[in-house]
Copies of this chain bind each other. A is one copy, B any other.
Amino acid sequence: MARIKTEKNGSRKDVIVSKAATLFREKGYKAASMRDLAEAVGVEAASLYNHIKSKSELLHELVFNVANRFVLKMDEIESEPISSLQKMEKLLRFHISEMIHSYEEVYVSDREWKHLSDPYLSNYQNQRRVYRKRIAAIIEEGIRNKEIKAIDAPTVVLIFLHAVSGIESWHRSTKKISAEELEQNMVAILIDGLKANH
């Protein structure tokens, strides 16, 4: 009857949520069973329910943790007295950093949110829509200031967000360049692609 080993200052629930992130990334939310998770945690499936309410709770815990971090950073960046292009670069670097260092959770949030159930689902979809609009607003400001070339802002948002999620491939690849190089390369391509031709 071995107990779940916790990190210091971490609850047993945290351990479960963290292992769930890994599992959901590997197999997808639906394909990952509570028995799989139990095995990963080192315990019987039934025991998990001493710490969590349900499988779906695991998912929306993951998803909203991530979402909140992004919204918080957006608040911060918006209020800084820097140019639109600089804001975009800062945001991009944050997304990249999150994708590198909190890979599992961010990836799962991005791919598996469809399996949230209401009211969490519509709540999340709203947050997402608002977040994208805020990015688009920064871009549009940059276009008005002639810093950014005149292109459709929602399209830029779409490219940005999805390009970053490509870091998944970097994680999986065997011959990785360093995280710093990766960030630098992505910034080079994407931010340069935005700049107005003077």
Contacts and interface: CB of A to CB of B under 8 A. Distances in A.
A146 interface: no
Interface of A is mostly: helix
Contacts of A159: 163, 166, 186, 189-190
A166 B170 contact: no
A72 B163 CA distance: 25
Number of copies: 2
A162 B171 CA distance: 14
Interface residues of A, number: 37
Given A111-B111, A185-B152, A165 B167 contact: no
Interface of A: 27-28, 30-31, 111, 114-115, 149, 151-152, 154-159, 161-167, 169-170, 173, 177, 181-182, 185-186, 188-190, 192-194
